[in-house]
Chain A
Amino acid sequence: MTRLQSRHHPNMSFSTQDLLAIDKTISQNYTPSSPVILPIERLRSRHAPQQALQTHELLAISTDITQRYAPHLPTRQSELTLVPVDPTSVYAYWNINSEQAGDLVLRVYATPASVRLMFDVPVSDLQNRQLIHLPSAGLSYAAVIAERDADNKLTILASADSISVPPLYPAPPKPTRTHTPQSHTKPTEVIRLDPAQKSTPIAIHAPYQAHHTDACFDYAEDAPAFFQQMTGSTNNRTRHCVFNISGLN
């Protein structure tokens, strides 16, 4: 069989089949592909194909609309919304359509009312949203935003529907098992109320179904004794609340 050599590299020879194979590989791999002609100059809406627009027109229209219609919240009726974030926090955002003379207060309470868990979060009239740390997981919470006057009276400006936050732990294996508040053998959930939140627990009541707190105190009077009993600390400014998660057996 005839073998062919490159005049530039004579010590390498090729058969006709070799050359055909190489040629085929190169053609296959390096033939310029056709549809790379860019850009498409005129574009049409599939809903109104008679209207053609050019790229620069699209950009101009897009820019014009974004400039003129920048998103904002119109001042309408006052409203408050709660959104669950995780078992121990919710987000509140609100829109207040009135001038306030007093301080704004966000009052959060567990539902149903029989749970008797409520606390206030002071908020500024410059804010319109706040992350709220919750003292207990697996409950439902509602909230109101109110104005506090000089006499400490609250005037409700807007209220939020009740939302539920998920539990931190699995449900008890036997749901009918009775709750034993004195048993501290199972995981103890330590919830640290964020000092930055400056919330004021008003009342925390127990026992509620299976997962919830066995603490019950009015913050101002009972809390120091409660903290001392649960933590051995006499420092009631830590705002650390310890709750036993009972019923998890």
Chain B
Amino acid sequence: MSQPKGFLNIVLHAHLPFVCHPEYKHFFEENWLFEAITECYIPLLQMLTRLSQEQVKYRLTLSLSPPLMAMLNNELLQTRYLAHLHKQIELAEKEVIRTQGTAYHDLAKFYRQLYVDTRNIYQAQYGCDILSVVQALQASGHLELISSAATHGFLPLLNSEAAVRCQIETGIASFATQFGLQPAGFWLPECAYYPGLENHLQRAGVQYFFVDAHGVEHAGTRPRYGVYAPLDCGNAVLAFARHPACSQQVWSAGTGYPGDALYREYHSDIGFELDLDYLAPYILDEHVRINTGIKYHRVTGDNLPKALYQPQQAAAKARLHAEDFINQCRQHMAQQAENMDRPPIITTPFDAELFGHWWFEGPQWLEWVLRLAASDAGLQTGTGSDYTQHCTQHQVATPSASTWGEQGYSKHWLNANNDWIYPLLQQAAADLEKLVRALQGSYVNPLQERALNQALRSLLLAQASDWPFILQTGTTVAYAKKRLNDHLARFHYLLESVQTNAINARYLSALEILDDIFPAIDFRDFQAPI
């Protein structure tokens, strides 16, 4: 096999917090999942399937967080998603009628078709089982699937070895149950790494993970090849670094591709533009304006009235941006390859939800990137596992503590807006660890076992990085606070009910329905590694 000039490792990280509210008939935040299915997951999977059917050679890394997998498998949410689509089709129908004779009419028909197609694909083609399509792409050799932490806990701030271990091992166990295989790679939530984390990963059988560029650049020993080769953390677990310049092209709101004037404007949505009476059946509580997904304008430019969105022009631009991206990757690789004894690797991790939701043309851009890479003689798409098959020796150095968040560290998840949660989380973890230790070797009856397992589910759900993130960004603060309070209250209730031998079976069943995740979890696993 000839040596490639370089690997392009595109990593999509798909994650949403676990949001499922069977205690309500409708719950607004469940729309996060529904919008992501319609705008991101189905378009991406359709595109990837199309490429595989056309025998385009590509490799892509896809990380799926356990909460997302649990939600995609949840029958109640599947049913509610179909109901959501039904409403979307209904609204688009109304729009087709309303816009007749206007410049918006073709776009209204475009959305109607989009929702109808989505329903047909989801229901008839996928059988409401999105993960089976993912698995088929993994089986055909196009995707390398990797796992992530149980509830996307921000590992450096958990301050509990038992909690970190449980987040990692529960995440991997969920993945193994879903796909029947052990993942080679692991997505650290928010790329948040601290020295020592590699020991937990090694114990869990992980071979590699990702950090932001400065995680490798500021390693204990200066990296010989910078971000173009992984580091061996000293225990054969590899850290791949995000390539700053190439990632910036996609991430940056100001200078990145998604801000192009021809692309669809996310913030121009009929939910905020049309009469409330007209929108009432399709918005929150019939009077609170929300995004509906129907957007008629393009980014246009600063201080200009928003112009009509034209999908064909946007698609053509997506292709140009894909060409630019591949050219830039090729140039970076060519520069590096001269000074390297191995092919350079460019790692570009992105949130999957960027593609299609925030950046509507993202899936088209990615399709062109994969097509162009497949026909490029000097560059090939490859995953972490592909790279390690080519290169078996790596520089040994411990990466530096880092995240891919604002300013590169933990500030976004620990500041005056969210600092109050950490003592509570740490105390809860310490309480559970102490109880687990005390129960070692003791008989635990089935009801106690269920209560303790449910307490662990509550704690894991409270640890999700999404809650401090939301508290800091200020978007749905009340909901994040509610979730933290609910989960911690449930945790303390369950622990007390076990300790006082007063478990209410009805209450326990209710909590198992409310937080229906990690069915096979075992509270005994909540302990620090020996």
Chain A: residues with CB nearer than 8 A to chain B?
A: 28-30, 32-33, 35-40, 43-48, 51, 53, 55-59, 61-62, 65-66, 68-71, 73-74, 81, 83-87, 89, 91, 93, 95, 128-129, 131, 164-173, 175
Chosen A-B contacts, 30 in total, with CB atoms closer than 8 Å, are A28-B120, A29-B113, A35-B82, A36-B82, A40-B76, A43-B22, A44-B513, A45-B509, A46-B519, A47-B453, A47-B512, A47-B519, A48-B505, A48-B508, A51-B505, A59-B24, A62-B490, A69-B489, A70-B489, A73-B424, A73-B427, A81-B426, A95-B423, A128-B423, A129-B423, A131-B415, A131-B416, A166-B400, A166-B401, A166-B402
Produce 1/0 per residue, B86-119, CB < 8 A to A: 1000000000000000000000000001001001
Q: Which residue of A35, A51, A95, A164 contacts B506 across the interface (Cβ within 8 Å)?
A: A51
Chain B residue nearest to A173 in the complex (CB): B222
Chain A interface: which of B198-206, B273-281, B406-414, B464-472?
B406-414
- Is A73 within 8 A of B423, CB to CB? yes
CB distance from A195 to the nearest CB of B (A): 17
Q: How far is the CB of B18 from chain A (nearest CB, A)?
A: 15
Q: Is the interface of B mostly helix, strand, loop or mixed?
A: helix
CB <8 Å contact, A175 and B510: no
CB of B407 within 8 A of CB of A71, answer no
Q: In the complex the two chains form, what is the Cα distance from A128 to B421 in whole Å?
A: 12
Tell me the total A-B contact number using a CB cutoff of 8 A: 173
- Chain A residues near B339: list those with CB within 8 A: none
Q: Which residue of B lies closest to A76 (CB)?
A: B427
How far, in whole Å, are A175 and B222 apart by their CA atoms in the complex?
A: 9
Please judge, given known A-B contacts A84-B401, A170-B218, A171-B218, whether A58 and B489 are in contact too, CB under 8 Å.
no
> Judging by beta carbons under 8 Å apart, are B221 and A85 in contact?
no
**A84 CA to B400 CA, complexed, in Å:** 12
Which B residues are in CB contact (< 8 Å) with A71? 424, 484-485, 488-489, 492
The reply to whether B402 and A175 form a contact with Cβ atoms under 8 Å apart is no
A33 touches B76 (CB 8 A): no
- Report which of B218, B401, B486, B509 forms a contact with A164, defined as CB distance below 8 A: B401
Bound complex: CA A91 to CA B76 (Å): 41
A43 neighbours in B (Cβ, 8 Å): 22, 76, 513
Complex Cα–Cα for A59 and B63 (A)? 33
* Chain B, residue nearest A171 (CB): B222
In this complex, the member of A65, A71, A129 whose beta carbon has the largest number of chain B beta carbons within 10 angstroms is: A71
B411's contact among A29, A30, A86, by CB below 8 Å, is which? Answer: A86
Q: In the bound complex, do residue B411 and residue A85 qualify as a contact, i.e. CB atoms below 8 Å apart?
A: yes
B323 at the interface (CB under 8 A from A): no
Return the chain A residue nearest B89 by Cβ: A30
- Of A39, A47, A85, A169, which is within 8 A of B25 by CB? A39
With a CB–CB cut-off of 8 A, which chain B residues contact A68? 489, 493
Tell me whether A69 and B492 are in contact in the complex, defined as CB-CB below 8 angstroms, given that A33-B119, A43-B22, A83-B414 are known contacts.
Answer: yes
Q: Assuming the A-B contacts A43-B513, A91-B414, A165-B401, are A61 and B492 also in contact, with contact meaning beta carbons closer than 8 angstroms in the complex?
A: no
Do A85 and B409 touch (CB < 8 A)? yes
Please state if B120 and A83 are interface contacts (CB–CB under 8 Å).
no
Contacts of B486 in A (CB 8 A): 62, 65-66
Residues of B with C-beta under 8 A to A169: 218
A85 touches B24 (CB 8 A): no
Chain B residues, CB < 8 A from A85: 409-411, 414
* Cα separation A46 to B401 with both chains bound (whole Å): 40
> Cα distance A175–B224 when bound, in Å?
13
CA distance A167 to B409 in the complex (A): 11
Cα A241 to Cα B85 with chains together (Å): 60
